[in-house]
């Protein structure tokens, strides 16, 4: 399988993702945001960072980068896309995922380890994950509060589009475990088809024993093992 990691001006987690995927034996190429060629990639990743300095609104400018028209077409044809943190924000701005990411309720930038729990097994990133297990994955964002109007939120819930929720270390989904005020403790969602996924926590930052945490590898391995079935 060939992964493509998109690089925007201000991306800062692209190398982390490339390293995590290569350490799992995958072929990975970087895709500059001005390109219009996905180089035959089977899976596209929009990494974290601060694309275009987060001016106007997070992801609002990156959404118009030339490569995004190709990614939208790729996704609409069933291609697999994952957005992490800023990448998640870009996917909502591009209309590939519902809802929006707003400023954290604390109005502060938060960088720490949190726990998340899979909510379904219908996507590549969750298929191999036990639904009751809590995974320790770091967050690093100032605008990670997932929001959607009530009608849209109910559709997301009814369609099973929530893929991760914030929880405590025992897997309990509580208000105290919610780091940013996201509705329904939502940490990640997918589109109706399940081929486009977005999440605020960073699995690529929890994929190396030297960092003292390899929980993120379980998520990335789920993608790799499931897509090859």
Residues 6+ apart with CB under 8 A from 65: 8, 33, 34
Tokens at 36, concatenated: 């219009």
**Among 70, 93, 143, 204, which one carries the catalytic annotation?**
204
| Owner of token pair 């209309």 | 95
**Among 85, 143, 167, 217, which one carries the catalytic annotation?**
85
- DSSP letters for 72-138: HHHHHTT-EEEEETHHHHHHHHTTSSSSEEE--TTSS-EEEEEEEEE--SSSTTTTTS-TT--EEEE
Do residues 177 and 166 touch, judged by C-beta distance below 8 A? yes
Do residues 83 and 43 touch, judged by C-beta distance below 8 A? no
Query: Active-site residue 141, yes or no?
Result: no
Query: Active-site residue 85, yes or no?
Result: yes
- DSSP letters for 15-55: HHHHHHHHTTT-EEEEEETT----TT-SEEEE--B-GGGG-
**Among 167, 190, 202, 217, which one carries the catalytic annotation?**
202
User: Phi, psi at residue 94, to the nearest 5°?
Assistant: -80, -5
Cα atoms in the 13 Å half-sphere on the side-chain side of 2: 8
* Catalytic residue list: 85, 202, 204
């Amino acid at each position: 399988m060939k992964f493509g990691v998109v690089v925007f001006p201000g991306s800062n987690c692209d190398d982390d993702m490339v390293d995590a995927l290569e350490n799992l034996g995958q072929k990975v190429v970087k895709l500059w945001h001005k390109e219009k060629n996905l180089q035959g990639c089977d899976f596209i990743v929009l990494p974290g960072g601060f694309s275009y300095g987060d001016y106007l609104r997070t992801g609002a400018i990156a959404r118009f980068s030339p490569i995004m028209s190709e990614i939208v077409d790729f996704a609409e044809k069933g291609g697999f896309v994952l957005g992490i943190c800023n990448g998640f924000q870009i996917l909502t701005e591009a209309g590939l995922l519902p809802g929006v990411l707003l400023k954290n309720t604390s109005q502060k930038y938060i960088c720490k380890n949190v726990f998340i729990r899979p909510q379904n097994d219908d996507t590549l990133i969750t298929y191999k994950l036990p639904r009751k297990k809590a995974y320790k994955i770091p967050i690093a964002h100032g605008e990670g509060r997932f929001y959607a109007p009530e009608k849209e939120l109910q559709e997301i819930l009814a369609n099973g589009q929530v893929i991760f929720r914030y929880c405590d270390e025992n897997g309990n989904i509580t208000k105290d475990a919610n780091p940013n005020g996201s509705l329904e403790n939502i940490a990640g969602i997918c589109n109706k088809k399940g081929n486009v996924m977005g999440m605020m926590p960073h699995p690529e930052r929890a994929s190396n024993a030297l960092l003292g945490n390899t929980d993120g590898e379980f998520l990335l391995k789920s993608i790799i093992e499931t897509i090859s079935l």
